[in-house]
Structure 1
Amino acid sequence: MADTTDTITIPDSPVRALDGSELDLASFGGPLLIVNVASKCGLTPQYTALEKLQQTYGGPDHPAGLTVVGVPCNQFAGQEPGTAEEIDTFCSTTYGVTFPLLEKTEVNGDHRHPLYRALTQVPDADGEAGDIQWNFEKFLVGSDGTVLARFRPQTTPDDPAVVAAIEAAV
């Protein structure tokens, strides 16, 4: 987890859901696990563990619980080439995803979304901040908007460090 002296608060920047509607991340009321996702990546099976986290720590039985937020991104080897409808269909039928998905978003570079401008300032457990390394990089954000932890793509959603951080936040 990031040292608390290094945490920042995510801006109240507008985001859009996969269907194009405006979405207020603060409206979820609990912590968020924000993950840049892709449908054609070797790490795509992480969707299964992300959905399990959503069901275990969030959903209707936990009104102030965790909300996983998937952020499709096509910046890594073109591994999210589909349309919004194709992404939605793939996620729901292949992995049973029930958590919200945002519209395709740039997480690195000159057109990086303001949300990711803030998130990438937070260091990981090794003290490294900066660009998103690959698909399935994870950020745990507290209900007050403070970024609590950053987990690199190879750290699976069910890794004990991720689960412990979520349990401390809910």
Structure 2
Amino acid sequence: MTVYQFEAVLNNGETKSLADYQGKVLLIVNTASKCGFTPQYKELQELYERYHGEGLEILAFPCNQFMSQEPGTDAEIAEFCSLNYGVTFPIFSKIDVNGEQAHPLYQYLCKEAPGMLGSKAIKWNFTKFLVNRQGEVVERIAPNTKPSECKEQIESLLKEKV
């Protein structure tokens, strides 16, 4: 099984198959607009601009499960990201990443790359998952790790052949 078996709804209401990203390196991030880590959007956009042409896709999944730090509608979230951070990478519709209502993609990501002490739950906003060109989850990255600190892993995965 790979991430390509899943689909999710973009924040414009369009259903997107993750199979559309086959052959790409993915950085999948649960995001929030009112979090101390929200400025990571700037570095995520910088990574996207730097590596998108080489095959990087960043997929943002807004989530309101952590102290209600993503209260907006999909349209409000899109506007916030565009106006404040110039985000051009795909932003999906708001989802749950933990619990019984967790999106199936996140259930899979958490199973494939458990956190500290084997925890499957997402700890906080801006937890990142790196996925290789074959659709395999290779790493879970802590929320407090800045996106710019992921360059080495991203560059390594981009060098791999499909």
Residue identity matched to 2:114? P
TM-score, normalising length from structure 1? 0.87
**2:19 paired with 1:26:** yes
Aligned equivalents of 1:150, 1:128: Cα separation in 2: 11
Please list the CA deviations of residues 18-75 of structure 1 after superposition, one character each: whole Å capped at 9, or x if unmatched. 11101122213411100000000010000011001101110xx33xx10010000000
C-alpha root-mean-square deviation of aligned residues, in Å?
A: 1.4
Give identity over the alignment, percent.
46
Is 2:1 the partner of 1:13? no
Q: Is the 8 A contact 2:130 2:137 kept in 1?
A: yes
Instruction: Write the letter of the residue equivalent to 2:92.
Output: L
Structure 1's consecutive aligned runs of 4 or more residues displaced over 3 angstroms after TM superposition are 126-129
Q: Give the aligned residue type for 1:167.
A: E
2:114 corresponds, among 109, 112, 123, to 123
Q: Is the 8 A contact 1:11 1:118 kept in 2?
A: no
Cα distance, 1:13 vs. partner? 1.8
Aligned to 1:76: 66
Q: Which amino acid aligns with 1:46?
A: Q
Query: In structure 2, what residue type is equivalent to 1:51?
Result: Q
Larger helix share, 1 or 2: 2
- Structure 2 distance, partners of 1:145, 1:91, is 26
Structure 2: unaligned runs, 5 residues or longer: none
SS across alignment from 1:145: coil
Letter in 2 for 1:55: E
Unmatched runs of 5 consecutive residues or more in structure 1: 1-7
Give the AA of the match of 1:169.
L
Report the Cα offset of residue 135 of structure 1.
0.2
- Cα shift at 1:106: 0.5
> What pairs up with 1:107-118 in 2 under 5 angstroms?
107-118=97-108
- State the partner residue of 2:157: 169
TM-score (norm 2): 0.91
Map 1:1-170 onto structure 2 (within 5 A): 9-10=2-3, 12-28=5-21, 29-58=23-52, 61-62=53-54, 65-121=55-111, 122-124=113-115, 128-159=118-149, 162-170=150-158
The farther-off stretch of 112-121 and 11-20 is 11-20
